[in-house]
Structure 1
Amino acid sequence: MARPGQRQSGARRSAPRDQRRGRRDDDVVAVLARTVRDVEAAARRGRVTPSVRTRFQAVALLLRDERARVRADTGLSDGRRSEQLKRLDGVATILATTAVRDAGLLALLGEDAVVSDAARSLVREMQKAAGVEPVVEEAAPADVPDEPATPQRRAVPQSVISRQLANPFLAPDFSAAAPRAPRPRRLAGWELLGPLLTSFERAGGGAPACMDLPFPTNRFTPAGLELMPHQGQLVAAAAAGHRTFLLADEPGLGKTAQALLAAEAADAYPLLVVVPNVVKTNWAREAGRWTPHRPATVVQGDGETVDGFADVVVVNYEVLDRHVGWLGDFGFRGMVVDEAHFIKNKTSQRSQHVLALSERIRSRTVRPLLMALTGTPLINDIEDFRAIWQFLGWIDDAKPLGELMDALEDTGLTPADRGFSAAARQCVIDLGIVRRRKVDVAADIPARRIADLPVELDGAAGRSIRAAEQELVRRMVRQYETALAARTSGVVEGIDADLVRRVARSELKDATTTTGENVFGMMRRIGRAKAGLAADYAAQLARSAGKVVFFAKHVDVMDAAEETFARQGVRFSSIRGDQTPAARQREVDAFVTDPDVHVAVCSLTAAGVGLNLQVASNVVLAELSWTDAEQTQAIDRSHRIGQTEPVTAWRIIAAQTLDARIAELIDTKAGLAARALDGSDEEVSSSADVQLEALVALLTDALRTSSGQEEALGA
């Protein structure tokens, strides 16, 4: 597991580990296990609150310390030490699999992660609960100024202070927007956010979501570069005065260039760009390419290298908490949020910081440029729109705001009227939703296809996985039969489909605490069993067809694949979530520019967004995603502008296992964007739907088999 963040300067240990008293080793592991299961359960429910982040970081810190202590303890026998390390590895596995579900949690495992005071306090509480004497930390030296009592350390780069002092003419312009004249509110008593969201959820039948755009312009493009027509249209809209955009073009259509040149057209400087850590360096490069006369700076760690005089400031979500103070006072006239679906959970810390910065910019700047960029704005349900719309200033927690409210009033309709849904949807679109598909605007990008490669899991691993799946099914059958036997009324002929779904939901809900196999553990085991086979196939592709992008969800699957490539003499790059931006960019550059690097081994979470890997036309998906959107994002690292060959994504499917059933479900469930944005009539689904439907199918098949056997015996 990646090493958790460093402790803050000014605090050091005052007692060695071997002076702790009252330790009960089993209790330490038990406390860690209980806490990490709580965190895992919250992450599965999508409820990664600040308190969950604190518990996650506390587990990571205590786990690291306990592992180091066990290894160094000469009083333990080899057998006892091995047993303790094995149990700690189990906690580490849960911690790592939980981290890949949320980029904010993953960031807490990075070397530059800041340890919060709340996490330290919780570590001490956990130590006391396990009978461990907490380590006393000395206070910071007197010459170090105290920091505000906030959950996270706040930093102000020295160059930013220098900028504020160097020239009075550089002081931020905080002129507030002109007050809006009050209007009679015909819709004041109506609940409107629900109907607005529903208008997108129920859209379809050829109703795409894209505002009217003007004729494209290349006026702001640097010499030697040229925009595609669809890119030039958005820049022209910004030049014409439009200032809020949900740029939801399909992945691979050049949203970064559009955002940078829209800022140039709107003169929205200084410009704040908030991005995932994995693309931070790439954004600075793209700024140098598309707006070379605008200095760009990247915020790393505490910001020691920040150029306070830059026009473009790029910061990643993971360190936003410690910089939100000075960023809010910097005087930005524009803000871009890349991969904006990262803020869909409004209770998360990163979402709250993004929304707070947006509100501050809107309150202090006359018509700022606000852009939310995402090829997959809807991941789980239509509610994912809320945070993005709020960032853009279209709504608040309870109601539409400003221009959107005015537009709804101007329709003359209420939610009770028949035509309100279509009119309301158009009002939102006109505020700045821009959605174009590759098939419509980039016909020169070659086609893509998904090809499934079934593999047989032989040997002990295959037998173990099939046995585990059978145990999972038997457990659900027992729950079904117990519930059926306890029923006193309402007998249903045959299989009770409603009861089947209730049992499946219960299994999914209890997956983090159930003893034995569960759907998540099963998929991970299958991924490990497929790793070598998937890597073998990728190596064959690399030898015969050129560069290959290899995606996996779990670190151990990536490790196994890389061992296979090394054994076969295939050079590879490794793109992971625990790398620094500079290290990650070196790996990307090696894959893109070095003809001898044939494979990019990528984390589905860390490399599934923002990277340009179009030098490869073959993508191997060693593990399945839970959503069509995540799968599409990964494939579109290669299927994008600049690709000259048809792209094939090879999904490695473990035949006759849960893996094959998940693949079928993903294929039958279209992404939300197909209905809400592209005018499709296809069914809406989420990752939870796929997990639930997989369990429903397993249980239903088992009950049918059991019923068939009983009928045969009766005959």
Structure 2
Amino acid sequence: MLTGTPLENRLLDLWSLLTFATPGALGDRAYFQKHFDRRKDDRAAERLSARLRPFILRRTKGQVARELPPRTEENMLCELTGLQEKLYREQLAQAQHMILTSTGAEMLNKRRFAILQAITRLRQICCHPALVQPGADDEESAKLNALMELLDQLHDEGHKVLVFSQFVAMLKIIRDKLTGLNRPFHWLTGASQNRADIVKSFQETPDPSVFLLSLKAGGSGLNLTAASYVILYDPWWNPAVENQAIDRAHRIGQTQPVMAYRLLAKNSIEEKIRHLQQQKSLLSSDVLGEENFARSLDQQDLEYLFDIGERRGDDE
């Protein structure tokens, strides 16, 4: 079995693959969940790595493509103001109340879907007020302003740029901005039918342009080495997915250093998601990929994401 893409979802995906490739190596499903669930046992990942080692030969891109130019990542912090900040504070207060009124792990699990919805809504507000409030298309967005300033600079310097977002509605707002400025752009989402033609046009057109891609549709399987700049408009749970997005430009055939910008709303859930990504990166180094980031959040993580400690301090 050969894969060029990290396992990105959950450990059961790994069990399925190994059960097909080496039947019995990881036991049946019940045995696997009992012995290798790191949420129940801190040493589970260590045991799983030892069990997998004889069956896996891992070669990272850094080992097999040493001629690749350097890749640099930078976080750009944007401060929320106006309606965007107001909406964020209101949604944050509702989420804090939900967490504070959830007692015990069982109750928290019952509310997990609602909690994840609240996290998504906060992330959408960080992108643009219009993603949660109809008719707010003309409202200010700190991240959109930062993006357009950066795109202006890169356009003047003659660069091609990849812009990724999880939210297609956000890509449409950016597209409208570029259209108003009469700036060339390319567009790829899950609904796009002619992927090969779109990619070919971006790769072969010599003029500077922007390629707007949804993270899921464009995060893997594409060669976009005509671009040497990548912008992640909103952080995703799984850092492996973000890395795959950046690697659309940083791959064999790239001759220029690749610069990746990650736009983050300052003092927001986005900054904290980024911090938790780095904390939980042990999951991906212990095994091949990592478990679903959202499912790995515990009570302490949620309190951190929603500023519960600060809220409790204010109440005392």
Scaled to the shorter chain, the TM-score interval is 0.7 to 0.9
Query: What secondary structure does 1:510 align onto?
Result: helix
Q: Which amino acid aligns with 1:540?
A: Q
Q: Does 1:599 pair with 2:210?
A: yes
**Contact in 1 for aligned 2:155/2:208 (Cα 8 Å):** no
Aligned twin of 1:572: 185
Query: Are 1:544 and 2:157 counterparts?
Result: yes
The answer to whether the 8 Å contact 1:621/1:649 transfers is yes
Partner of 2:14: 385
Contact 1:539 1:565 in 2 (8 A): no
> What is the CA deviation profile of residues 438-480 of structure 1, one whole-angstrom value per residue up to 9, with x for unaligned ones?
3222221122122111112222122112221122113322x05
* Match of residue 112 from structure 2: 508
Kept in 1, the 8 Å contact 2:18–2:26? The answer is no
Residue in 2 aligned with 1:128? none
Q: Which amino acid is the alignment partner of residue 113 of structure 2?
A: K
Q: 2:231·2:261 contact (CA, 8 Å) conserved in 1?
A: yes
Q: Distance in 2 between matches of 1:474 and 1:511?
A: 11
- Which residue, 494, 512, 528 being the options, matches 2:128? 528
Contact kept in structure 2, 1:571 and 1:599, CA below 8 Å: yes
SS of aligned partner of 2:157: helix
Aligned counterparts, 1:184-333, within 5 A: 245=1, 247=2
Asked if 1:458 is matched to 2:81, the reply is yes
Residue pair 2:159, 2:208 contacting (<8 A) in 1 also: no
Deviation of 1:587 (Å): 1.4
Instruction: Confirm or deny: 8 A CA contact 2:49 2:286 kept in the other structure.
Output: no
Q: Do the aligned partners of residues 422 and 542 (structure 1) sit closer, same or farther apart at CA in structure 2, a change above 3 Å counting?
A: closer
Q: Percent identity?
A: 25
The match for 2:302 is 695
Cα pair distance change 1:423/1:602, threshold 3 Å: closer
Give the SS at the match of 1:606: helix
Are 1:452 and 1:651, in contact at CA under 8 Å, matched by a contact in 2?
A: yes
Return 601-610 or 649-658, whichever deviates more.
Answer: 649-658
Q: Report the TM-score, using the length of structure 1 for normalisation.
A: 0.37
Give the structure 2 partner of residue 337 of structure 1: none
1:508, distance to aligned residue in structure 2 (A): 2.0
Name the aligned partner's letter for residue 272 of structure 2: R
1:573 maps to amino acid: H
Is it true that 1:425 corresponds to 2:52 in the alignment? yes
What residue identity is the alignment partner of 1:475?
A: M
- 1:614/1:642 contact within 8 Å kept: yes
1:376 is aligned to 6
Is contact 2:303-2:309 (8 Å) kept?
A: no
For residue 597 of structure 1, report the CA deviation from its aligned partner: 4.9
The offset of 1:521, in angstroms, is 2.0
Shift of 1:654: 0.8
Cα displacement string for residues 391-435 of structure 1 (whole angstroms, at most 9, x for unaligned residues): 43x2279859xxxxxxxxxxxxxxxxxxx9887534423xxxx42
Q: Find the structure with the greater CA-based Rg.
A: 1
* CA shift in 2, pair 1:436/1:561, >3 Å: same
1:540 and 1:506, CA in 2 relative to 1: closer, same or farther beyond 3 A? Answer: farther
Q: Which amino acid aligns with 2:303?
A: V
Q: 1: distance between equivalents of 2:269 and 2:236?
A: 13
Which whole-Å deviations, capped at 9, do the CAs of 1:483-536 have from their partners, x for residues lacking one? 4xxxxxxxxxxxxxxx5x666544423347xxxx71122222322345633540
Cα distance between partner residues in 2 of 1:569 and 1:709: 51
Q: Which of the numbers 23, 27, 35 marks the counterpart of 1:395? A: 23
Q: Residues 19 and 26 of structure 2 are in contact (CA less than 8 Å); yes or no, is this contact kept in structure 1?
A: no
> What is residue 135 of structure 2 aligned with on the other side?
none
Question: What are the ranges of 5 or more consecutive residues in structure 2 without an aligned counterpart?
Answer: 29-46, 130-140
Does 2:64 match 1:448? no
Aligned residues: CA RMSD: 3.0
Matches of 1:472 and 1:421, distance apart in 2: 36
Amino acid of the structure 2 residue aligned with 1:554: F
Amino acid at match of 1:510: A
**Aligned letter for 1:553?**
Q
Structure 1 segments unaligned to the other structure (5+ residues)? 1-244, 248-372, 401-419, 484-498, 679-683, 711-715
Question: How many residues align structurally?
Answer: 284
Deviation at 1:547?
0.6
1:439 aligns with 2:68: no
Specify the alignment match of 1:557 in structure 2. Answer: 170
Give the whole-Å Cα distance in 1 for the aligned partners of 2:285 and 2:49. Answer: 17
Contact map agreement 1:558 1:601 (CA 8 A) in 2: yes
Partners of 2:258 and 2:25 in 1: how far apart? Answer: 42
Compute the displacement of 1:388 (Å): 1.9
Classify 1:545/1:695 alpha carbon distance in 2 versus 1 (closer, same or farther; 3 Å).
farther
How many angstroms apart in 1 are the aligned matches of 2:294 and 2:10?
Answer: 10
Query: Given residue 55 of structure 2, which amino acid in structure 1 is its aligned partner?
Result: V
